Amino acid sequence: MQFIKDAYEMTMANEVSQNKLGIVFKISERCNLKCSYCYYFFSGDETWKDRAPIVSDSVIGALGMFSRSAAEKYGISKIPISFHGGEPLLMKKSKFDQMCTTLREHESNFQFEFAVQTNGALIDEEWIEILQRHDVGVGVSLDGPKQINDLHRLDKRGRSSYEKTVRGLRLLQKSAKAHGGRIPGALCVINPEADGAATLRHFVEDLEVTHLNFLLPDASHENPLSMVDRGRITDFLRAVIREWARLRRKDVSIRFLSELITLFAGDEQLNTSYNTSDYRHLIVVSSDGKIGPEDTLHGLAERFRETPYSVFTTAPEELFSSPVWDELGDAARGPDACQSCEWFRVCRGGRLANRFSESGSFNNPSIYCDGLKQVYADVMRLLVANHVDERRISANLRVAL
C-alpha cells in the first residue's frame, strides 16, 4: 500500500494551482539526431526551416516580459518553462547561462521553474555545472535498450545514439548523487516491438533511472497506427504496470501511472479540475518569438502552426481568448461519444493529437481508446488489491463499482 501512496503524493507535490501557465521554449530549432518519428521535423510542419537556428536575446527578453504580464494578470506564482529543440544544448553554453539569468531578472511576483529536455549526447561537466547553478531539471530522451532505442533514434549519419545518451545520463546521475542536485528523468516513446516489463527493468535496474515517463506514439485518425501496433502498445503499458507493481520500488515514479493513481484515488476536487486533455495553459514559443499551442498539434493543421501571436506583440489575455485557444477549450470538454463512458473522468477522451481528424477536429475518441480502457481497468484492480478505498474510486469515476 505504501508504494501506491507514494506515487499519489509525488504527483500531488508537482501540481500547481488552477491558475497556471506552462511554456515550452524552442531555444534551438535544429538537432544533432535524426529520429524517424520526430513530430517536430517530420510531421509535415516545416516552419522550423524559416526560423533562426538559435533563439535571439530579444526573444528571451520579450518572453520574460510576457511571462511577468501573465503572472500579474492571472495570479500565477510558478511558471514551468521547459527548454526544447531540436536539441536545446546546441545553444552555446555561455548563451544558455545568460538566458537563464535574463529570465530570472523578470521574476517579480512569480518564479520560473526551469527544465530542459535533451538527447543527452552533448552533456559534459561544464554543462552540468551550468544546469545545477540555475536549478534546471533535466529530462533525457531514450527509448530503452540499445536495440530498441536505435530503431528510431539515430544520428544524421545513421549511427547509434544510445552510448552517447547513456554517457550523458550517467554523468547527470553521478553529479546529482555527489552534490545533492536534481535527479535526471527519462522520457521514452513506446515502440510496439518492445516489451514493457523488460524496458522498465532496463531503465530502473541497468540505468538506475527512478523518474520516467512513457509516451504514446504520435498518431491521429488521419494518420493512424495499425490495429496490431495499437494492441502491442496496450500490451507494453499493461506490462509496465505489472512490473512496477512487482518491483514495489517506492522511489520509482512513472508519470503516466502516478497521474492515473491520483485521478482514481486522490481528492475528488482534484479529479474534477485535473484534465490531461486541457492544453489551454500550455504555450510553445519558437526561436523567432512566435506563440503556438502544444507542439504535437502543429503537424495536424495549419491553424495550429501558423498563428499570428508573438511574445513581442500579443498580450496574454488576447492569446487565451483567441480562436485557437477557444478550440482547445472546446476540446478539453471531451468528445461527445465519450461523455457516458465509465472512464471519462479519468481519460477525458485522451491526448488531443490522438483524437484529431480533419473532418471532426478533436471531437473523436482517442485512436488508443480500446487499449486505454484496458490500462484503466488494470490500474483500478491494482488499487483495489492494495486496499485503496473503493468508495473513493467510485466517487472519482462517478460510477458504482
154 in a domain, yes or no? yes
Rounded Cα–Cα distance for residues 123 and 107 (Å): 28
pLDDT in tens, 273-298: 567 788 899 999 999 999 999 988 98
Number of separate domains in the chain: 1
Q: Which residues pair with 26 in a beta bridge?
A: 84
Burial class (CB in 10 A: 0-12, 13-18, 19+), 228: exposed
The cell 491526448 sits on which residue? Answer: 351
Q: Which three cell numbers stand for residue 57?
A: 536575446
73, amino acid identity: K
pLDDT score for 18: 47
390 in a domain, yes or no? no
Rounded Cα–Cα distance for residues 399 and 264 (Å): 12
Burial class (CB in 10 A: 0-12, 13-18, 19+), 227: exposed
Contact between 223 and 249 under an 8 Å Cβ cutoff? The reply is no
pLDDT score for 398: 76
384 in a domain, yes or no? no
Q: What is the CATH number of the domain that holds 316?
A: 3.20.20.70
Closest among 215, 209, 201 to 184, alpha carbons compared: 209
pLDDT score for 82: 98
DSSP 202: I
Q: In terms of residue numbers, what domain contains 70?
A: 2-330
pLDDT in tens, 25-66: 999 999 999 998 886 776 666 777 788 899 999 999 999 999
285 in a domain, yes or no? yes
- The low-confidence residues of the chain, meaning pLDDT below 50, are 8, 10, 12-18
Closest among 358, 348, 357, 363 to 397, alpha carbons compared: 348
pLDDT score for 283: 97
257 in a domain, yes or no? yes
304 in a domain, yes or no? yes
336 in a domain, yes or no? no
293 in a domain, yes or no? yes
Contact between 142 and 165 under an 8 Å Cβ cutoff? The reply is yes
Rounded Cα–Cα distance for residues 110 and 3 (Å): 33
Burial class (CB in 10 A: 0-12, 13-18, 19+), 89: buried
pLDDT score for 360: 67
211-215 vs 253-254, strand pairing mode: parallel
**CA-to-CA dists, residue 295 to 48, 76, 311, angstroms:** 12, 23, 16
